[in-house]
Every structure is written in structure tokens, then in C-alpha cells.
């Protein structure tokens, strides 16, 4: 399937892998979740009208509303809408025809959409997660809620987040490979447009930060579905979650803010007609922030029992991180000086965003000075601070919608309505969030506040509705433009310099007719066909010319299988969300069920196992079809690829993915070390079979060797020997899994289960996570064996064997770390 149906057909949107289509899907979906999160906010703001609540919401409904509002806005709105812009404009800005892996890009989107659908479904499975968006342990596990009877909704929320993070990880790999390997000729990193720069740094941060969250969410899902004990003990669970979550959580602040900053840079340049002042320093400052963002996470934990030295250290890193931002703010201000400032809607939103960010940033310095946390932490002051920061980001993103709207739709919007939108937005914003600073004595997520704070809460509620109305104005403005707006020229803003403005609005399917190049120092379109025929008249681009590096073969743009994989995963995760009662029942049937799991669980519902199996079925078919589908994505013949010129796209993708997987295992191993240290390194009562572990170590190392053999035989085009080596690898993996099964069953026979205590939880989950990697590897290997037998695969192009080898060696290396940790120490 490769022909793309027209835009008006529903089928187009299900099969498309084109970056611009996927971008539109992201933006539209993100706006939907903005409305959903916004309505939830209006609900609880209305409830907060009077101290003690107006009775609009029950307590549990209030808790669900604030939790879901936070989760939806941070995860399902902020990053995805930026991701939509990046999908659409990063390839355009760097002169590429599409992302490096278009089908994976579609897969990211479907995972995102279905994770959001799962989040929505969770409301109807009893209750959705109601423990706050930070999901602090142990409130995030069933045993400390009355929800032991109804875990499904909370499980679905956590699994939805897990799926969302998987979507982010896939997108991250895709963008890193694309930006590093598909830049037009002459477009060095320093010259990349600022939005692309901000997105590049965003995805680098995402790669590591979201991997930490992935680890945390994996452990949490297993805690909730299988009833392990990572986050339910009183032996350090709370701190373990806080570390894992905030190691992700603080970079996340910059992850959601950087794309907004990129839009501010672009719009300031366009609407002042000037290049950004101190551009190089701004880029360096952003790189500094990206690195330093990983060194400030403990400032979210100042009121735990951390000691003075650590407090001081994190106070220093936190206050220090505002310095690069200060540089960026001044760069923006000085860009206006001596320019020709034009007050268009996108510029007003960007300017407004800068004003709000200055306020949010300075209040952040207050909080960074630790001492004030004794008053402000966990109160509305913090709520006000981070809304000023995050929603100033939203302000710039709304500016981005207006800025790029003519390019995406080919229609102009009404500037009058746009400016009205900005005015209402800005007034609503400040009326909503500023009083929250003054209401600082109200703790967060509380509706029983003192009488004195009522006036502030009422002002905020009024502001919330005005703020909400501004989004209706936005939708009206955009809708009107779509229906009756005049056609947009290529570059309606005149001084826009980036490449997306040099082509028609909206751009054609493959973006360029001629190859964009910056070789001369500015954007030019090179007609390679003409050049190849020695200056002769080009006679049409379909004609094959002598130089096949210039004329790329036909590229595919459509595949239904990303959608299929999305559906399968969704059904599977929905099924998993209701498995807790079965596990609970099993536990009650064992000899010594743990006390904290004594409370009753819901009646198991047969729907969930059926859904799980159905999901596995759909997923299996879709993955297989995805694997055998012919899908042609030509690599750019001429491109800037520093610093990854010597690595192929797929290989770089595998490396980047493995880098994030290192962090996932780092999280799991970190959890082991943290929990063991907390209970005293020597007090660990884990009883494992050392000989089995040692044997398995040899088995895995041998299998690494057989994979190397497979690659060597593939290079020599020796089909039989390659096949033999691959089969040997799979057999060794089966031996490994067999020994593992023996180990697990002998533990069970001794009465040691995954729920028996924190030490056994960690043993089963960590080795289980590794075993899962082995199983995934076996599935890939079996698929490859099938391809070798059926279509003589990998004889011409042996690279897939190499990529599989990389993954397999990684899995082995992980075991080399796990073996001493669990069997020797």
C-alpha cells in the first residue's frame, strides 16, 4: 500500500505516514486534550468558588479532576502540540522530505492517540487515577486507597501514561536521527533555525528523562497489576518514587518549555525583521540548560529528610539554571531594539509569553532559595509559579498556531479576531493565576480553604472562565479562516527566513521539487537533473537520468500497520488494566498472603483476560505485517550529517534507542541499589540459585557469539550457515528462558513470590524485565529466520542482522550487570 488517498478521505488519515499529515493529527489531537483538561479545570475552579467547595463535585471527583487535569495538560497536551509543530516544520526547516522513519512516526502518533483514549476510558472504569499528577508513593498503589476494590481505572491511567511514554521514546529516536542525518547541504548545526534547535535539545532531554519515567511507570504498573511492592513499603518507597519521578520531572519542565521558546525566537525574528541578538550564545545557553536540567531534581524534595549539604548543592544548581534563561530573555528583548516591530497576533502571543515567563522565572528563583519552600511548597504559591511558567509556554504555542496557520492550511485568519483573542487570553490568564500567589496559605488540591482566601479564589475562578473563553475565540477565528479566509501567499510574514516559507502554502506532499541547499550560504533550490545533464533543459523529474544518486526512487507514504499496532496495544493495555483482581485472588490462594493485601478486591471480570488475548492477537498480526511490508524510504543523497556521517539511519536509530534503554535499566538497577541501601545492604534476604545464574551467563555470552557468526556468514552470503547461527541463537535463548523458568518455579515452591517482600519483588521484576527483552529479541530473531527461509533475506543487505546483533549484545551486557547484583552480592 503506497498511494495516499486525498485529504478529504478518512482512510488518508489512518494510513498516512507523511510528516505534515502526522503533524496535523498531533496538533488536532493535542487541542482536543487541551479542551478536555480545560473543562476539568473549569469544573474544579467552579467547585472552589466557596471555602469547602460549592458541592459541585464529590471529594473523589475533585481529586480525579485535579489529577486528570494535571496529567492531561502536561502529557497529552503540552508535549504533543509541540510534537505536532515539530513534525510539520522540523523536516521543512532542515530541508528534508520526511522524517527518517515515517512509519515509526505514524506509530508514535497512534500510540499517543490511543494512550489518550485509554486515559479517557479510565474515567469509566470506576474512577480514574486520583492521587495527584505527581503520583507520589505509596498513595499511587492500591493498598493505601479504598480502591483495592476498583483498581482498573487507576491501572488504565498508569498504563495509558506508559503507552504515552513509549510513543515519546519512538518519536525521540526518529527526530534525533532525522535532525542529525537529514539536513540540507550546507546546513551546519550552528545555522539551524532556532525552532529546530529548541526541538533538537528537547528530544535529547526527552530521550533520557522519559526513559527514567518509563522505568518508574513500568515498576508502578507492575506494582498495580501484579501487586509487587516497589512503591508500597514503608522502607524507602516514597523516596524511590520521588527520585525516579523528579529525575524525569524537572527536565520535563524544560522539555515542555523549549519548543515554546523556539517559537518565540522564530516569531521575534520574523516580526522585528532582525536576526536574534547573540544567537550563538543563546544556543549555548540552551545546551547548558538541557544538561543542567538533569542536576536539579532534588529541589522538589527539599522537605524530605535530605541533609543541609545536599539542600545547598541543589539550591546552587537551581538558582544557577536561571542564568542561561536570563541571557535568552535579554536576547529576545534586544532583538526588538532597532528592529521594525510588527504587532501581529503571533508576535503579541510571543511577547505576552515573554512577560509571563519573566514573572514565572523570577518566582522560580524565590522557590529555588530553599528556605521559602518551608512556606510555599505544596501551596497555591507553587501552583501559581508553575502555571506562570508552563502556561507562558502555552501562550507561545498559541502564537505558534497563528504563526504557522497560513502555512498549514493555506488560509489567512482575521487579525482583528486574533488580537481580540490575545487580549482576552492575557487578561484571563492573569486574573486566573495571579490571585493564586496571594492565596498561598491554601494547600494544593484542597478545597477547604480559609475565609480570607475566598476573594482570591473567586477572582481566579472568574479568570478561569475568561481564559477558557479565549480558547473558544481562538477556535472560532481558526474555523472562520478555514471556511472563508483568503488564500495565504507563500510567505505572508515577509521577513520569515526559514525554509518552510519559501514553498507554497500548504506545501506539496514531498515538500520540494528541487533540492534545497545552503551551500552558498543562503537557501537555494538546486535542480540536480538540470545539473546532471550539463546545463541542458530539464525535461521533467520523472525521467531517469544518468546520475542515480540525485534522482531518488519512489517513496512510500502510506501504511495501515502503525494504526494496527496502535489498536492492538490499546486493546492489550485495556485488558491488562483489569487483571489485578485475578492476581489478588491467586495471592489469597497462596500459603502466606501478605497482610497489606488482605482487603477485598473486585470480582474478576472475564472481559479483561479476553481483551488481553485479543490485543496480543491483533498486535501479533499487525507487527508481522509491518515487518514484511515493503516500505521504501530513500535516504537523502546529499545531506549534512555531522557528527553521525559514518553511521546509517537505522543503526543510529538502534544506538539512540539503546541509549534510552540503558536509562530504563539504570532506573531498575538504581531502584535495587536504593532500596537495598535503605534497608541496610547486608539485611537483604534474597536466596537465589547461583549456579543457575552462572550457567545462564555462559549461555547468553555464547548466544552473543552466535549472533556475531550470523553476521559474518551474512556478509559472506552463506545462507545456510547464517540460518544455522540464527537458529542456534534462538535455541540458546530458549535454554536461558528454560533455566529462568526453573529458577522461578523453585522460588515459588519455596513460597517466595513476587509479592512476598520488596527483595523478591525486585528480583522477579528486574530479571523479568531482562527476560522480556530476551523474549522480544527471540520474536525478532524468529521473524528474521522466517524471512531468511521465505525470501532469502539479508544476503544482499546484511545490516538488519547487525542491528539485531547490537540489541542482542546489549541484552547480554545487561545480564552481566544483573548476575553479580542478584546472585553474588
Partner 1 sequence: MSSRRRTTVAFVAAALSTLVALTSTVAAQSPNRELIDGLEYQLLYAALPLTLFVLMILIYAAVKFHDNDDPQPTTEDPALEITWTAATAIILLFVGLSGYSVLVNPYISPSQAIDTDDRSQEGFDSFEDLPDTGDEEVHVRGYQWEWQATYPDANVTTENQIVIPAGEDVTFWLTSDDVIHSLFIPDLGVKQDAFPGDYTRARTVVDEPGRYDVVCAEFCGAGHSRMQGEIVVVDAETYDQWLSENEGTVAEAPNPD
> Considering only residues 249-278, where is the footprint of partner 1 by CB under 8 A?
272-278
Q: Tell me the per-residue interface mask from 368 to 407 with partner 1, x by CB under 8 A, - otherwise.
A: xxxxxxxx-xxx----------------------------
- Which is nearer to partner 1, 373 or 528 (by Cβ)? 373
- Residues of this chain, 421-440, that bind partner 1 according to CB under 8 A: 438
Q: Tell me the per-residue interface mask from 200 to 239 with partner 1, x by CB under 8 A, - otherwise.
A: ---------------------------------xxxxxxx
Q: Tell me the per-residue interface mask from 664 to 703 with partner 1, x by CB under 8 A, - otherwise.
A: -------------xxxx--x--------------------
Which listed range, 442-450, 577-585, 597-605, 629-637, lies at the site for partner 1 (CB under 8 A)?
A: 442-450
Please name the residues in contact with 88: beta carbons below 8 A apart, sequence gap of 6 or more: 19, 20, 23, 24, 27, 404, 408
Tell me if 448 contacts partner 1 by CB under 8 A.
Answer: yes
- Residues of this chain, 95-134, that bind partner 1 according to CB under 8 A: 130-132
**C-alpha span between 80 and 165 (Å, rounded):** 11
> Closest separation between CB of residue 197 and partner 1, Å?
17
Tell me if 45 contacts partner 1 by CB under 8 A.
Answer: no
* 8 A C-beta contact, residue 760 and residue 752: yes
Distances (CA, A) of 145 to 105, 232, 541, 603: 38, 11, 66, 17
- Which is nearer to partner 1, 163 or 227 (by Cβ)? 227
* 8 A C-beta contact, residue 397 and residue 81: yes
Binding-site member from 308, 537, 544, 749 for partner 1 (CB under 8 A): 308
Please name the residues in contact with 288: beta carbons below 8 A apart, sequence gap of 6 or more: 324
> Closest separation between CB of residue 331 and partner 1, Å?
8
Q: Cell digits for 58?
A: 464529590
Q: What is the DSSP string of 56-119?
A: SS-HHHHHHHHHHHHHIIIIIIIHHHHHHHHHHHHHHHHT-SS-S-HHHHHHHHHHHHHHHHHH
**C-alpha span between 256 and 78 (Å, rounded):** 6
Tell me if 174 contacts partner 1 by CB under 8 A.
Answer: no
Q: How many CA atoms lie within 13 A of 50 on its CB side?
A: 6
> Closest separation between CB of residue 190 and partner 1, Å?
14
Q: Cell digits for 745?
A: 518455579
Binding-site member from 295, 333, 728, 735 for partner 1 (CB under 8 A): 333
- Smallest CA-to-CA distance from 41 within 461, 388, 396 is with 461
Tell me if 339 contacts partner 1 by CB under 8 A.
Answer: yes
* 8 A C-beta contact, residue 137 and residue 237: yes
Tell me if 60 contacts partner 1 by CB under 8 A.
Answer: yes
Which listed range, 186-194, 247-255, 315-323, 631-639, lies at the site for partner 1 (CB under 8 A)?
A: 315-323
Q: Are strands 524-526 and 515-517 parallel, antiparallel or unpaired?
A: antiparallel
Q: What is the DSSP string of 757-795?
A: -HHHHHHHHHHHHHHHHHHHHHHHHHHHHHHHHHH-TTS
- Which is nearer to partner 1, 327 or 710 (by Cβ)? 327
- Which is nearer to partner 1, 231 or 764 (by Cβ)? 231
Tell me if 598 contacts partner 1 by CB under 8 A.
Answer: no
536-561 core/surface letters (b: 16 or more CB in 10 A; e: else)? eebeeeeeebeeeebbbeebbbbbbb
- Smallest CA-to-CA distance from 459 within 425, 428, 483 is with 428
- Which is nearer to partner 1, 351 or 503 (by Cβ)? 351
- Residues of this chain, 276-305, that bind partner 1 according to CB under 8 A: 276-278, 281, 303-305
Which listed range, 399-407, 447-455, 545-553, 633-641, lies at the site for partner 1 (CB under 8 A)?
A: 447-455
> Closest separation between CB of residue 699 and partner 1, Å?
37
Q: Cell digits for 817?
A: 550487570
> Closest separation between CB of residue 671 and partner 1, Å?
16
Tell me if 307 contacts partner 1 by CB under 8 A.
Answer: yes
> Closest separation between CB of residue 325 and partner 1, Å?
9
Tell me if 329 contacts partner 1 by CB under 8 A.
Answer: yes
Tell me if 454 contacts partner 1 by CB under 8 A.
Answer: no
Binding-site member from 351, 396, 583, 671 for partner 1 (CB under 8 A): 351
Q: Name the E strands within 409-529.
A: 515-517, 524-526
- # residues near partner 1 by CB under 8 A: 92
> Closest separation between CB of residue 38 and partner 1, Å?
21
Positive or negative CA dihedral for 559, 565, 568, 570?
Answer: negative
Binding-site member from 18, 108, 115, 145 for partner 1 (CB under 8 A): 145
> Closest separation between CB of residue 333 and partner 1, Å?
5
> Closest separation between CB of residue 275 and partner 1, Å?
4
Radius of gyration of the chain (CA): 27
Tell me if 315 contacts partner 1 by CB under 8 A.
Answer: yes
> Closest separation between CB of residue 351 and partner 1, Å?
6
Distances (CA, A) of 56 to 61, 63, 110, 436, 502: 9, 13, 35, 21, 53
- Which is nearer to partner 1, 271 or 803 (by Cβ)? 271
Tell me if 594 contacts partner 1 by CB under 8 A.
Answer: no
> Closest separation between CB of residue 129 and partner 1, Å?
12
**C-alpha span between 471 and 570 (Å, rounded):** 30
> Closest separation between CB of residue 358 and partner 1, Å?
6
> Closest separation between CB of residue 339 and partner 1, Å?
5
Please name the residues in contact with 237: beta carbons below 8 A apart, sequence gap of 6 or more: 137, 138, 229, 230, 231, 675, 758
> Closest separation between CB of residue 320 and partner 1, Å?
7
Which listed range, 142-150, 516-524, 711-719, 807-815, lies at the site for partner 1 (CB under 8 A)?
A: 142-150
Residue in this structure with the C-alpha cell 473558544, named with its chain if needed: 472
> Closest separation between CB of residue 375 and partner 1, Å?
5
- Which is nearer to partner 1, 227 or 572 (by Cβ)? 227
Tell me if 55 contacts partner 1 by CB under 8 A.
Answer: no
The kind and range of the H/E element at 401 are helix 380-409
Residue in this structure with the C-alpha cell 513470590, named with its chain if needed: 753
Amino acid at each position: 500500500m503506497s498511494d495516499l488517498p486525498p485529504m478529504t478521505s478518512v482512510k488518508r488519515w489512518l494510513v498516512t505516514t507523511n510528516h505534515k499529515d502526522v503533524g496535523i493529527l498531533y496538533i488536532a489531537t493535542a487541542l482536543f486534550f487541551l479542551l478536555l483538561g480545560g473543562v476539568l479545570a473549569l469544573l474544579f475552579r467552579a467547585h472552589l468558588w466557596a471555602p469547602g467547595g460549592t458541592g459541585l463535585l464529590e471529594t473523589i471527583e475533585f481529586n480525579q479532576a485535579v489529577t486528570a487535569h494535571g496529567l492531561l495538560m502536561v502529557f497529552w497536551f503540552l508535549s504533543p502540540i509541540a510534537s505536532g509543530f515539530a513534525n510539520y516544520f522540523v523536516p521543512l526547516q532542515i530541508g528534508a522530505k520526511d522524517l527518517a522513519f515515517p512509519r515509526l512516526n505514524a506509530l508514535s502518533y497512534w500510540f499517543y492517540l490511543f494512550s489518550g483514549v485509554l486515559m479517557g476510558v479510565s474515567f469509566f472504569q470506576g474512577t480514574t487515577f486520583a492521587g495527584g499528577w505527581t503520583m507520589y508513593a505509596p498513595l499511587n498503589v492500591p493498598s493505601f486507597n479504598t480502591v483495592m476494590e476498583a483498581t482498573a481505572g487507576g491501572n488504565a491511567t498508569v498504563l495509558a501514561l506508559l503507552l504515552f511514554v513509549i510513543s515519546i521514546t519512538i518519536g525521540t529516536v526518529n527526530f534525533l536521527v532525522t535532525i542529525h542525518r537529514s539536513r540540507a547541504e550546507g546546513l551546519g548545526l550552528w545555522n539551524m533555525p532556532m525552532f529546530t534547535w529548541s526541538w533538537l535539545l528537547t528530544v535529547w532531554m526527552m530521550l533520557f528523562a522519559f526513559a527514567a519515567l518509563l522505568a518508574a511507570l513500568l515498576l508502578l504498573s507492575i506494582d498495580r497489576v501484579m501487586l509487587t511492592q516497589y512503591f508500597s513499603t514503608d522502607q524507602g518507597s516514597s523516596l524511590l518514587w520521588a527520585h525516579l519521578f523528579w529525575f524525569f520531572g524537572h527536565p520535563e519542565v524544560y522539555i515542555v518549555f523549549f519548543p515554546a521558546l523556539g517559537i518565540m525566537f522564530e516569531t521575534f525574528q520574523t516580526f522585528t525583521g532582525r536576526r536574534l541578538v547573540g544567537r550563538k550564545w543563546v544556543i549555548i545557553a540552551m545546551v547548558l540548560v538541557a544538561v543542567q536540567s538533569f542536576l536539579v531534581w532534588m529541589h522538589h524534595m527539599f522537605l524530605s529528610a535530605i541533609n543541609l549539604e545536599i539542600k545547598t548543592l541543589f539550591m546552587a544548581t537551581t538558582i544557577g539554571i536561571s542564568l542561561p534563561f536570563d541571557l535568552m530573555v535579554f536576547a529576545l528583548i534586544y532583538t526588538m531594539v532597532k528592529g521594525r516591530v510588527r504587532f501581529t497576533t503571533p508576535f503579541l502571543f510571543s511577547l505576552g509569553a515573554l512577560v509571563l515567563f519573566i514573572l514565572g522565572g523570577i518566582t522560580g528563583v524565590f522557590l529555588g532559595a530553599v528556605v521559602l519552600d518551608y512556606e510555599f511548597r505544596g501551596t497555591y504559591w507553587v501552583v501559581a509559579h508553575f502555571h506562570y511558567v508552563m502556561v507562558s509556554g502555552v501562550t507561545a504555542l498559541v502564537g505558534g498556531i497563528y504563526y504557522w496557520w497560513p502555512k498549514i492550511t493555506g488560509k489567512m485568519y482575521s487579525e482583528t479576531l486574533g488580537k481580540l483573542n490575545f487580549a482576552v487570553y492575557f487578561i484571563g490568564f492573569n486574573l486566573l493565576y495571579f490571585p493564586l500567589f496571594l492565596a498561598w496559605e491554601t494547600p494544593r488540591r484542597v478545597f477547604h480553604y480559609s475565609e480570607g482566601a475566598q476573594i482570591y479564589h473567586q477572582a481566579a475562578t472568574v479568570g478561569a472562565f475568561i481564559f477558557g473563553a479565549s480558547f473558544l475565540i481562538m477556535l472560532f477565528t481558526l474555523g472562520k479562516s478555514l471556511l472563508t479566509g483568503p488564500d495565504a501567499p507563500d510567505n505572508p510574514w515577509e521577513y520569515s527566513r526559514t525554509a518552510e516559507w519559501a514553498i507554497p502554502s500548504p506545501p506539496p506532499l514531498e515538500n520540494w521539487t528541487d533540492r534545497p541547499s545552503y551551500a552558498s550560504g543562503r537557501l537555494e533550490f538546486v535542480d540536480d537533473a538540470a545539473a546532471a545533464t550539463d546545463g541542458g533543459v530539464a525535461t521533467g523529474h520523472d525521467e531517469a537520468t544518468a546520475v542515480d544518486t540525485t534522482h531518488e526512487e519512489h517513496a512510500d507514504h502510506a501504511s495501515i500497520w502503525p494504526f494496527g499496532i496502535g489498536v492492538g496495544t490499546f486493546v492489550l493495555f485495556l485488558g491488562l488494566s483489569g487483571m489485578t483482581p485475578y492476581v489478588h485472588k491467586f495471592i489469597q490462594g497462596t500459603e502466606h498472603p501478605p497482610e497489606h493485601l488482605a482487603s477485598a478486591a473486585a470480582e474478576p471480570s472475564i472481559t479483561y483476560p479476553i481483551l488481553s488475548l485479543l490485543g496480543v492477537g491483533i498486535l501479533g498480526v499487525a507487527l508481522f505485517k509491518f515487518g514484511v511490508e515493503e516500505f521504501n524510504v530513500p535516504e537523502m543523497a546529499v545531506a549534512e550529517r555531522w557528527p553521525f556521517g559514518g553511521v546509517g539511519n537505522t543503526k543510529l536509530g538502534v544506538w539512540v534507542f539503546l541509549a534510552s534503554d540503558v536509562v530504563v535499566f539504570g532506573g531498575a538497577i538504581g531502584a535495587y541499589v536504593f532500596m537495598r541501601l535503605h534497608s541496610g545492604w547486608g539485611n537483604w534476604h534474597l536466596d537465589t540459585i547461583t549456579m543457575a545464574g552462572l550457567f545462564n551467563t555462559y549461555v547468553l555470552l555464547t548466544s552473543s557469539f552466535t549472533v556475531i557468526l550470523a553476521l559474518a556468514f551474512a556478509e559472506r552470503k552463506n545462507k545456510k550457515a547464517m540460518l544455522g547461527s540464527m537458529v542456534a541463537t534462538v535455541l540458546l535463548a530458549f535454554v536461558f528462558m528454560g533455566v529462568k523458568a526453573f529458577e522461578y518455579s523453585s522460588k515459588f515452591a519455596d513460597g517466595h513470590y513476587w509479592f512476598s517482600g520488596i527483595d523478591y519483588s525486585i528480583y522477579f521484576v528486574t530479571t523479568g524485565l531482562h527476560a522480556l527483552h530476551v523474549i522480544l529479541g527471540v520474536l525478532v530473531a524468529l521473524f528474521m529466520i522466517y524471512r531468511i527461509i521465505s525470501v532469502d533475506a539479508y544476503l544482499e543487505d546484511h545490516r538488519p542482522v547487525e542491528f539485531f546483533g547490537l540489541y542482542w549484545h546489549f541484552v547480554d551486557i545487561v545480564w552481566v550487570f544483573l548476575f553479580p547484583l542478584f546472585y553474588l552480592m
